[in-house]
Structures are given as structure tokens and as C-alpha cells.
Amino acid sequence: MRSRKPQNRKRAELAVRENERRFRTLTEHGSDYIVVVDDNGVLRYGSPSTERVLGYAPGEFTGRSITSFLHPEDVFHAQQALQSAGEHPDRTEAIEIRVRAKGGDWRVLDATVRRLPRESRESGFVVNARDHTERRQ
């Protein structure tokens, strides 16, 4: 009798690769952008669409404090949203913020902030945002 373990493992590996491909496609081509911010407010991940919206390549964006990109008048409001999301992990916090693009202009973003699940490999927050600067003007 042959074992099904190698066959099952191969199927599982194919499924993981397919899920990774699907996720990559969504993050590369979506109009929204996604960032992961750690518990200290440091950007740990920026989806490829971040470069399209703000002009920052991933290496220029990650490893820096999220507040270094925010309009000074929006820093406190953003910190409150992160704190509230941290205290209430079952809720999503909505916020409008201004973010400095690489060219120096301010982009107006509608963003949602949610605490990453405690059981995930990452700790911190996921921020989904959409640029609506043109609608605002």
C-alpha cells in the first residue's frame, strides 16, 4: 500500500503557491494600498500600489516611522486611531489623513486601521488606504 503523504504534501505546496500568487496579484494591481505598521509605529510592509500612489519604492518606505509621512496636523488623530484599534482588536477604525508623497505634495487618503490578529506571525496593524485627493479638490 502506497502512502498518500507525498501526494498530499505536493497538493498543499501547490495550494500555498497559488494563494501566494493570487495575493501578489491583488496587492500589485489593486487601487487601494496596504501597509503594515508595527506596535512602535514603524512601517514594516507597503504594497506595490504604495509606489504608484505616493512614489516611494518599498525600501524607501519600510523601516521608517509612519508619522514621518503624515501631515503634522494629522499625527495625533492617526495615533489615536492606532491606539483605539489596539485597544479594540475586533473593530476597524476609519480615518482621513494627509500623507506626503515623494514629490512633496500632500495626498488625502481615506484609511482604515485594524489590529492584526494576535495569533498571526506579524504584530501591529494593517492599514488599507485609498487616495481621494482629486475628489477633495
> Which three three-digit cell numbers place residue 104?
512633496
Residue 85 neighbours by CB distance under 10 Å: 24
Whether the predicted model's global pTM rises above the 0.85 cut = no
pLDDT tens by residue, the chain, 137 residues:
556 677 787 877 777 777 666 656 655 655 688 899 999 999 998 888 888 889 988 788 899 999 999 999 999 999 999 999 999 999 999 999 999 999 999 999 999 999 998 777 778 999 999 998 876 55
pLDDT of residue 126: 94
pLDDT of residue 128: 94
Are 98 and 88 in contact, with CB atoms under 8 Å apart?
no
- CATH superfamily placement of domain 32-136: PAS domain (3.30.450.20)
DSSP 116: P
SS percent in the chain: helix, strand, coil, step 5: 45, 25, 30
Residue corresponding to grid cell 492584526:
116
Are 78 and 95 in contact, with CB atoms under 8 Å apart?
yes
pLDDT of residue 73: 98
Choose among 61, 63, 74, 60: nearest CA to 107.
74
pLDDT of residue 72: 98
Q: Which distant-in-sequence residues (6+ apart) come within 8 Å of 1 by Cβ?
A: none
Q: Give Dmax (Cα) for the chain.
A: 70
